[in-house]
Structure 1
Amino acid sequence: MSDMKGKFIVLDGERKGTEVPLQFNPSNYTVEESNEFGEKKLMGLKGVIHQFTGSKHADLTLELLFDATDDGEDVRKRIEPLLRLGAIDRELHAPPPCRFVWGPFGFDGIVSQIKREFTYFYHDGTPGRVKLTVTLKPYRPPEEVKAALDLHSSDISKERVLAEGDSIFLMAAREYNAPGEWRRIAEANGIDDPLALLPGTRLLLPPGEENE
């Protein structure tokens, strides 16, 4: 079991069921959770107080290595399948949810960022080795979302603040379990260009279809 390789499995969309194996297992990974606070000014007092607004679900960050120096190939060819996990799916109109599996560890998420650091080059400048830093935002399966909807009265509109590295597509996946529901958020907020949204933007999230 020690040589078991980690892999990604696409959970939905045009490439549902596609597996993307790693060349090498991660050198390390981190799972980060945080609490969110909003600032509130008090009449007649200087400064602000910070009011707890909720918890942010864990993000997963992986450090991965790909090396093509064994056969002199361009390493960019080897990472192309993984890079596609962060591309827009033609069926979902958003990056597809996927599952990262490595031994007993599993994480369902949507790729939000891929950083490439090329560390070795052939004499002609072609890259032969690259280190990737891959970040995934959490994705919940439908049954978990339904349970949360039942418990938290999500038949009413909610407000969320767009965080650094977040997007309207990832927010739709978290809140509605459907990346394609970004249109619902865009229509409710009068957004013409979802790619132009800046961190700190407040967004109104209307009820999901099952609650209308």
Structure 2
Amino acid sequence: MDLFTGLEGQLTKMKINVCETTEPFNPRQGEDYEFQVLVNPEQIKQKFSTVFDDDQPDGTTGAELRFRVQKPQSFETELVFDGTGVIANDLLPGSNLLGTKQVESVDAQIERFKAIVFKYNGDTHAPNLLQVQWGSFLFRGKLKDLTLTYTLFKPDGTPLRAKAKCVFVASIADSLRAAQERSESPDLTHIRIQKEEETLPLMAHRIYKDPGYYCEVAQANKLKSLRRIPVGTTLYFPPIEKNKG
């Protein structure tokens, strides 16, 4: 599957959800924890970076690169806020009934957005941990930079349209990072994020080479349903010895 949803099929809007700060870090639901974009972004720019030591003695013509660290993945995108009424907000009541459109001011849209992605959380003493999802694109991290550009105004100066340039940086708990950095083996604990069109038996087959372990995985994760696992759910695949005697 391509990274992003294809041009054909049902329109899917990008969503940004606040995540739990403790394992399993699942996205929270409700208007206070979710922001759906008005218009899907035109592009997403991803960045991957590896840092090496390249010191070399004087008088030499080269050096062996020595790995130091891989920096967290990041991505950059631009979102649109519109208060002209040309674009309906699907989340507002009456937005699509009989052709009517509920108009929310640009200032109100931006405040809702900032409350989710930017506002300091007194409980965690940091901005919210976020999950960004659009089709098969799934990213978990925090907002690093936010730049607002207002592009259209009423005669009295009220903004009618704005663009938000956003830079998100991946954030992963130490426990998950340590598990992911260990070598691939059915004797080790594995962490996976549920994606679209992935099934529990398929993931069990990839890890244990046996899809029959999916029931034990479901039990270990206390799943209520095997068919309706929300996209973005963190799943734990324990060592195979814990499942089979």
For 1:12, the aligned partner's letter is E
Contact preservation (8 Å) 1:10, 1:98: yes
For 2:69, the aligned partner's letter is G
**Is structure 2 residue 51 aligned with structure 1 residue 36?**
yes
Please list the CA deviations of residues 99-151 of structure 1 after superposition, one character each: whole Å capped at 9, or x if unmatched. 00111211111111111111101101111101111111112256632414766
Q: CA RMSD in A?
A: 2.9
- Cα distance between partner residues in 2 of 1:65 and 1:97: 22
Shift in alpha-carbon separation, 1:47–1:95, aligned structure 2, 3 A = farther
**Is structure 2 residue 19 aligned with structure 1 residue 11?**
yes
Per-residue deviation at 1:16? 4.6
Per-residue deviation at 1:30? 1.1
For 2:112, the equivalent position in structure 1 comes to 81
For 2:151, the aligned partner's letter is T
Please list the CA deviations of residues 58-77 of structure 1 after superposition, one character each: whole Å capped at 9, or x if unmatched. 20112111100117764121
Per-residue deviation at 1:46? 9.4
Give the TM-score taking structure 2 as reference length: 0.52
Larger Rg, first or second structure (1 or 2): 2
Spell out structure 1 runs of 4+ moving beyond 3 A. Answer: 37-42, 44-52, 71-74, 148-151
Structure holding more strand per residue:
1
Alignment of 1:12-161 (within 5 A): 12=20, 16-17=28-29, 18-38=33-53, 40=55, 42=57, 52-70=67-85, 74-84=105-115, 85-140=117-172, 144-148=176-180
For 2:132, the aligned partner's letter is F
Please list the CA deviations of residues 38-66 of structure 1 after superposition, one character each: whole Å capped at 9, or x if unmatched. 46464x55999775422223201121111
Give the TM-score taking structure 1 as reference length: 0.60
Query: Which stretches in structure 2 are left out of the alignment for 5+ residues?
Result: 1-8, 22-26, 86-101, 184-245
Contact preservation (8 Å) 1:6, 1:102: yes
The size of the alignment, in residue pairs, is: 149
* Aligned-pair identity (%): 24
